[in-house]
């Protein structure tokens, strides 16, 4: 094994010390790894937006309102806004990196080419596992909504079906993704379209009700009822899982049509749209019940808000929307987790078997199984908040390094780095994005931080053991 450290490749030099003049190859100390197989570009702008919005809108609107209101009161609206600002500060630099390197793997790919193999390995393995934790969180949320549907129609089971439903859908969505990315994208587009219509109607009614148009104006409670520090920021750290969707667009960059145009629009657009939905949702929900009572409703708080507004039809409509939202979040996350595995394998940082393409469906079936298997294990735990925060931790580390990678690449200016989109406000925006990402980590539960750090340590250990002789130079 080689003895290169985390920063050995960050200079961008070749083995002989010269800067690359053309997009070079992946090399090891024994062989050059060649793989000309590419995933087909089948996802358009609508599909990219659907992946971003569909992933983010699930947990943020249908699982978190009760938990967030319990922690921060009405100021949870500020928590969601903070999360949206941090996500936007990272989405802008990531858009530049994505147009320069529109390949599957997202944050892993960009960081490995900007900061070196060791950083890329830790982030890549962390991205894979972060998406696994996020997918498990979404599937548990799906189980809660499916259970609420059964209760609404009068079906009472002797056992809690939350975990069972999450496991069944985890298996089904993995199988769907193996059957073709185009199938997954088509389903995602349809689900997100229906979801946005239902939510727009519901939230419009809720806002009009809150301001007294329907005769029962409900004045929101004291804004900072739980205080400002640390309640608002710890809640922002918790709900940040809601903003992982824009980065998942980057993980399927190799399958996006016209990436120079569609990648920035999909990433930035999805963050802006979803942030507006989140803030309005928390305002409507807390206006209806108040933070304390909303917190007692837990993961299905929005069902009770809809019931209060529109009776049983409203509850059924939101139950349906909640099922769609958590389904779409899990669907997009499983797809993205598999692409992280695929990219790591193509770079020889995981066994080559994981980058095999199914000849019948054109999908990385082994990578999808490597994503789906661990997800099922985590779903079985049912730990909603812990799953969410570990996913957030691993992504926030990646987001900080993405911003640093952009700063390094701009300063180094290698010949292959020719983005079609450049971040506005450089270098302030990426610098703020890095600092804000790290700052949110400080407000997480100690258990989430410990698990996240442990995953990073194990990832670096894997790199040293398995792939310490791999050098990734330039964009391939």
CB 472 within 8 A of CB 8: no
Q: For residues 335 and 366, what is the distance between their CA atoms, to the nearest angstrom?
A: 12
- Beta bridge pairs of residue 256: 43
Q: What is the pLDDT, as a whole number, of residue 59? A: 61
Q: For residues 472 and 476, what is the distance between their CA atoms, to the nearest angstrom?
A: 9
Q: What is the pLDDT, as a whole number, of residue 121? A: 86
CATH fold, domain 45-468, is Amino acid/polyamine transporter I (1.20.1740)
Q: What is the pLDDT, as a whole number, of residue 6? A: 37
Q: For residues 48 and 260, what is the distance between their CA atoms, to the nearest angstrom?
A: 13
Taking the domains of the chain in order of start, what are their residue ranges? 45-468
Largest CA distance in the chain: 76
Q: What is the pLDDT, as a whole number, of residue 8? A: 40
Residue among 43, 27, 8, 6 nearest 362 (CA): 43
CB 95 within 8 A of CB 249: no
CB 232 within 8 A of CB 72: yes
Arithmetic mean of pLDDT over the chain: 79
Q: What is the pLDDT, as a whole number, of residue 15? A: 31
Q: CB under 8 Å to 430, separation ≥6 — which residues? A: 89, 92, 93, 403, 404, 406, 407, 423
Q: For residues 372 and 437, what is the distance between their CA atoms, to the nearest angstrom?
A: 28
Q: For residues 250 and 176, what is the distance between their CA atoms, to the nearest angstrom?
A: 21
Q: Give exposure, 288-299, as e/b (b: 16+ Cβ within 10 Å).
A: bbbbeebbebeb
CB 414 within 8 A of CB 472: no
Q: Which helix (H) or strand (E) holds 466?
A: helix 446-466
Q: What is the pLDDT, as a whole number, of residue 244? A: 75
Question: What residues in the chain have per-residue pLDDT under 50?
Answer: 1-36, 474-476
Q: What is the pLDDT, as a whole number, of residue 1? A: 39
Q: CB under 8 Å to 436, separation ≥6 — which residues? A: 85, 86, 89
| Number of C-beta neighbours around residue 37 at 10 A | 11
Q: CB under 8 Å to 331, separation ≥6 — which residues? A: 54, 173, 176, 177, 184, 187, 188, 191
Residue among 188, 176, 175, 177 nearest 44 (CA): 188
User: How far from each other are the two terminal CA atoms of the chain, in whole angstroms?
Assistant: 23
Can you read off the two tokens belonging to residue 329? 């979040």
CB 54 within 8 A of CB 62: no
Report in angstroms the alpha-carbon separations of 432 from 273, 331, 394, 400: 21, 31, 18, 9
Q: For residues 113 and 458, what is the distance between their CA atoms, to the nearest angstrom?
A: 21
Q: What one-character-per-residue DSSP string does 124-181 give? A: HHHHHHHHHHHHHHHHHHHHHHHHHHHHHTT---SS--HHHHHHHHHHHHHHHHHT-H
Q: What is the CA radius of gyration of the chain?
A: 22
Q: For residues 104 and 357, what is the distance between their CA atoms, to the nearest angstrom?
A: 13
| Number of C-beta neighbours around residue 215 at 10 A | 6
Report in angstroms the alpha-carbon separations of 397 from 162, 173, 253, 461: 30, 27, 20, 17
What does the DSSP 8-state code read for residue 27? E
């Amino acid at each position: 094994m080689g003895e290169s450290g985390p920063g050995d490749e960050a200079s961008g030099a070749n083995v002989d010390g010269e800067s690359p003049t053309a997009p070079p190859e992946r090399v090891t100390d024994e062989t050059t790894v060649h793989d000309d197989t590419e995933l087909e570009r089948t996802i358009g702008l609508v599909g990219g937006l659907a992946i971003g919005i569909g992933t983010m809108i699930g947990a943020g609107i249908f699982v978190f309102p009760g938990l967030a209101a319990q922690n921060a009161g009405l100021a949870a609206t500020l928590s969601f806004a903070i999360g949206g600002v941090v996500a936007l500060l990272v989405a802008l630099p990531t858009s530049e990196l994505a147009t320069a390197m529109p390949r599957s793997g997202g944050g892993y790919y960009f960081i490995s080419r900007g900061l070196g193999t060791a950083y890329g390995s830790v982030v890549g393995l962390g991205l894979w596992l972060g998406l696994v934790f996020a997918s498990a969180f979404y599937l548990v949320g799906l189980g809660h909504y499916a259970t609420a549907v059964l209760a609404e129609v009068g079906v009472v089971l002797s056992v809690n079906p939350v975990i069972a439903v999450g496991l069944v859908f985890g298996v089904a969505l993995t199988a769907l993704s193996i059957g073709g990315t185009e199938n997954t994208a088509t389903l995602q587009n349809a689900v997100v379209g229906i979801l946005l219509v239902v939510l727009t109607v519901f939230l419009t009614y809720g806002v009009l009700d809150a301001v007294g148009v329907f005769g029962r104006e409900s004045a929101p409670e004291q804004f900072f009822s739980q205080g400002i520090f640390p309640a608002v920021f710890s809640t922002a750290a918790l709900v940040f899982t809601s903003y992982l969707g824009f980065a998942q667009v980057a993980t399927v960059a190799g399958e996006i049509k016209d990436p120079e145009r569609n990648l920035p629009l999909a990433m930035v657009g999805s963050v802006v749209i979803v942030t507006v939905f989140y803030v309005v949702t928390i305002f409507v929900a807390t206006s209806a019940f108040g933070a304390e009572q909303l917190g007692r409703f837990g993961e299905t708080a929005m069902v009770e808000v809809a019931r209060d507004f529109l009776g049983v039809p409203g509850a059924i409509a939101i139950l349906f929307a909640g099922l769609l939202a958590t389904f779409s979040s899990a669907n997009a996350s499983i797809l993205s987790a598999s692409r992280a595995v695929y990219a790591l394998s193509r770079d020889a940082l995981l066994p080559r078997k994981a980058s095999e393409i199914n000849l019948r469906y054109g999908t990385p079936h082994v990578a999808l199984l490597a994503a789906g298997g661990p997800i099922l294990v985590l779903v079985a735990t049912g730990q909603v908040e812990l799953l969410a925060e570990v996913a957030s931790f691993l992504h926030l580390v990646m987001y900080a390094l993405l911003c640093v990678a952009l700063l390094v690449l701009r300063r180094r200016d290698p010949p292959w780095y020719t983005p079609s989109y450049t971040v506005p406000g450089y270098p302030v925006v990426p610098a703020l994005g890095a600092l804000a990402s790290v700052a949110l980590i400080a407000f997480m539960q100690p258990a989430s931080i410990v698990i996240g750090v442990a995953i990073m340590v194990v990832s670096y250990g894997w790199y040293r053991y398995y792939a310490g002789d791999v050098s990734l130079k330039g964009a391939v």
